[in-house]
Amino acid sequence: MGAVSIPGLPPADLPEVAFAGRSNVGKSSLINAVTGRTHLARASTAPGRTREVNFFVADDRMRLVDLPGYGFAKVSRGEKNKFQNLGRSYLRGRPNLKRAYLLIDSRHGLKEVDREAMDAFDISAVSYQIVLTKTDKLRSQRDVEQVVAETLRKIAKRPAAFPRVLATSAEKGAGIPELRAEILAACELAGGHG
C-alpha cells in the first residue's frame, strides 16, 4: 500500500525497515532482490518516481518501506518538498521503525545530498545502515573494498550510523543474502525469509 500523508500510514503493529536514497540509486531493484519478487517495487528509468511512502508486508511478520527518493526528481520545488517532508515525518514518528537503509550508488560514493539525509537520521535518532548499490558496475573487488572502507571512514563519527557497510548488486545478487540477514536481525526475527 502507498501513503501520501501521515494519517494514511498503516498501524505501527509490525516491525519496519525503511529504504532511502537518491533518485536512481536502485532502490526498487534492491527491494525486489531482497524479497525475491521481480515486480514488487516498480523500477523506473525516470528518477524521482516514488512520491509516497510505500509499504510491502513480508510474511505477515514485518514491513519493508520504500521512502521517496531525493535528488533529481523533475517536479516543482513545492511538490518535491511535499513528498520529501512526508518521508521525514515518517522517520520521526514511527515507533516500530527498526532501521533505515540508506542506499548509495557505489560508483559515486557519498554526496552532499546524502549527508543531508544522514543529518536527518542523526537528528531523528533513527538507526541507519549504508548499503552500496550497483557494485557489479565497479571494475574489481578491490574497488568495492575501497568504497566500503572510504564510506566507513566518512560515517565513523555519526551517532545513528550502524558501523557496517553492505556492498550489494541487485543485478548479480551480491550481498543480498547478507542484507536479508541484517533486516531479520534488525527486526529481531529469527529464521528464513519469504
71 pLDDT band, cuts 50/70/90, is low
Higher pLDDT, 2 or 97: 97
Higher pLDDT, 24 or 103: 103
Tell me which residue of 27, 26, 75, 82 sits closest to 54, measured CA to CA. 27
- Write the burial class of residue 34 (CB in 10 Å: 0-12 exposed, 13-18 middle, 19+ buried): buried
- In b/e form, how buried is each residue of 154-177, taking b as 16+ CB within 10 angstroms? bbeebebbbeebbbbbbeeebbbe
Pairing of strands 62-66, 53-58: antiparallel
For 156, the grid coordinates are 565513523
Q: How do residues 149-160 score in pLDDT, each as one tens digit?
A: 999 999 999 999
Asked if residue 51 lies in contact with residue 84, where contact means CB atoms within 8 angstroms, the answer is no
Q: How do residues 15-36 score in pLDDT, each as one tens digit?
A: 999 999 998 899 989 999 999 9
